[in-house]
């Protein structure tokens, strides 16, 4: 133990947890066997630098200065995303995506304690008591329950439709809420789909369904696989692009937002 204590180069650094750089707070995470420094910027803009426990503050600043242009460019992109996708306030008139269409939140007073949602033309109607109308936490939970229920129902219908069309049938179908994975297909023919797809246009949702069903025949992304997808979903490329470009359209369906980590 004495030998280990002597070899720790504790004199080289101050055990700081954060440093300030270009107007941003950077969390410092020390790892005993970390050879090279690395930096991550989360979608919310939070920054974290991983360093060896012997790395000095001076060395950390030198590393950050090298990557300053990238930091500023990325933080600028984060700022634009936050402007485009502000946190939901669950106020009347606020818009929510459902099957690619914008639905305005409308409150309808109800004597029942349970908060419920239903769709009526261009409206997303929230049935709740007058006292619960300001309870954002309960309203959000009820909204997520509604989207989850509708997502499962719609996805089940589309899987049934395309399974018969493609003559490919999963042995098991389940639903999850994941951040970036829209679907998966195991070697045991178990298909899992992300119920958050209910916010996307139907033609986008269909692409994910066809994509996973195609994996029942081809467990790869070969030319044959894409040929099968193309036959049953000609617009698959546009659908894939839509998902890539509109990732944060689904943020309101997350229990904890990636963009707004500090907002409940």
Q: Evaluate if residue 6 carries a pLDDT over 70.
A: no
DSSP one-letter code for 45: S
Structure tokens at 256: 């904890």
In sequence order, the 6+-apart residues with CB closer than 8 A to the CB of 78 are 41, 43, 44, 45, 259
pTM: 0.84
In sequence order, the 6+-apart residues with CB closer than 8 A to the CB of 92 are 105, 106, 107
**pLDDT by residue (tens digit) across 99-120?**
999 999 999 999 988 999 999 9
Structural domains for the chain: 2-84 (no CATH), 95-253 (3.30.2010.10)
DSSP one-letter code for 91: -
**pLDDT by residue (tens digit) across 57-69?**
999 999 999 999 9
In sequence order, the 6+-apart residues with CB closer than 8 A to the CB of 250 are 196, 199, 200
């Amino acid at each position: 133990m004495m030998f280990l204590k002597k070899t720790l180069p504790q004199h080289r650094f101050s055990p700081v947890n954060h440093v300030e750089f270009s107007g941003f707070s950077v969390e410092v995470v020390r790892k005993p066997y970390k050879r090279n420094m690395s930096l991550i910027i989360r979608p919310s803009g939070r920054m974290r630098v991983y360093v060896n426990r012997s790395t000095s503050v001076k060395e950390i600043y030198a590393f950050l200065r090298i990557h300053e242009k990238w930091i500023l460019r990325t933080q600028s992109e984060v700022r634009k995303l936050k402007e485009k996708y502000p946190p939901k306030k669950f106020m009347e008139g606020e818009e929510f995506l459902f099957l690619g269409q914008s639905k305005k939140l409308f409150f309808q007073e109800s004597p029942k304690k349970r908060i419920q949602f239903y769709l009526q033309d261009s409206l997303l109607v929230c049935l709740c008591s007058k006292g619960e109308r300001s309870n954002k936490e309960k309203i959000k939970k009820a909204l997520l329950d509604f989207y989850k229920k509708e997502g499962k129902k719609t996805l089940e219908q589309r899987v049934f439709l395309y399974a018969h069309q493609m003559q490919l049938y999963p042995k098991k179908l389940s639903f999850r809420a994941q951040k970036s994975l829209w679907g998966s297909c195991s070697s045991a023919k178990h298909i899992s789909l992300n119920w958050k797809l209910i916010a996307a246009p139907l033609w986008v949702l269909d692409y994910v369904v066809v994509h996973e069903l195609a994996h029942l025949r081809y467990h790869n992304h070969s030319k044959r696989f894409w040929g099968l997808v193309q036959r049953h979903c000609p617009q698959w490329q546009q659908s894939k692009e839509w998902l890539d470009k509109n990732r944060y359209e689904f943020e309101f369906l997350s229990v904890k937002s990636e963009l707004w980590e500090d907002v409940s």
